Amino acid sequence: MNTRKLGQSNIEVSTVGLGCNNFGGRTDFAGTRAVVHKALDLGVTLFDTADVYGNRGKSEEFLGELLGARRKDIVLATKFGIPMSSTAKSRDASRGYIMRAVEASLKRLRTNWIDLYQVHRPDPDTPIEETLRALDDLIRQGKVRAIGCSNYSAAELTVAQDVTKRAKLTAFVTCQDEYSLLKRNIERDLIPAMQRQGLSLLPYYPLASGLLTGKYRRNAPAPKGARLSNSRDNASDVTSERNWNMIERLNNVAARTGHSMLELAFGWLLAKPIISSVIAGATRPEQIEQNVAAASRRPSPAVVAEIDAITR
């Protein structure tokens, strides 16, 4: 497994990460154990979760119970800021909230430190300096090694990084945002801002909710248990006519070049130096095997350029 650094930190992660949003929800404890153990066996070192995943806490709890002595072998990333109760604010990155949230996550994860602690969504009601000072304190206390943000705009990221320079605080090293062959809008503003600041990108939904796995067909029912069989995730921007047309063209490239759709999706992402790790969820150990294998069989630069042009 190849590794890359998280931004300008000294933390290295596997180029294939494990998204843990299914744990405690779509995946029960036994299923989670099978996926986690397979990921560890294959050299996956980045495990990305959030306090809210798994019906508010179960994903972290499952990981805390399953990792045991292997905790030291991985980079554990989690997030805060989305409400953990029906009465909480929709977003909260205030100092008081952060200090309560980190202790709760540490307890569920059964660990003394979090490698990458991420703001799940920007909080417009809290000054960004308050958020960053709290996170800086957690790093000074040894409870957090590095910090990142998720779903920030280019302007919000730039303001945050400017504050860290002015106030001499720890800066974000990563951004986590949706990015795939079928979802490229962050290329306009966010990625250029990240490049100027030296941050790494951790793309989520890299397979467009499974549309880039090759298992879906136009005008056919989704496979049983698949993400898009859940109407909540069956959003029009995923299963749009535009995307189906692109899928057909990508399938043609895959057939002609001998690559799978997975290999095209992972290869296109990993051809970008700004990406540290491709965070892909899994509900079965076979999916981890497929993801790792796909990332190791990279398409040529010419093929990458061709699929880039198709989906630009």
Catalytic residue among 53, 97, 204, 216: 53
Residues in the chain: 312
- 219: domain CATH number is 3.20.20.100
Per-residue pLDDT of the chain (312 residues; tens, 9 = 90+): 899 999 999 999 999 999 999 999 999 999 999 999 999 999 999 999 999 999 889 999 999 999 999 999 999 999 999 988 877 778 999 999 999 999 999 999 999 999 999 999 999 999 999 999 999 999 999 999 999 999 999 999 999 999 999 999 999 999 999 999 999 999 999 999 999 999 999 999 999 989 998 777 776 666 665 555 554 555 556 778 999 999 999 999 999 999 999 999 999 999 999 999 999 999 999 999 999 999 999 999 999 999 999 999
H helices, E strands: number in the chain: 10, 10
Q: For the chain, how big is the Rg over CA atoms in Å?
A: 19
Give the chain's domain count: 1
Q: Residue 284, SS3? A: coil
Identity of residue 96: G
Q: Residue 277's domain spans which residues?
A: 3-311
Instruction: Give the residue from 239, 240, 233, 267 showing the smallest Cα distance to 253.
Output: 267
**Does the active-site annotation cover 205?**
no
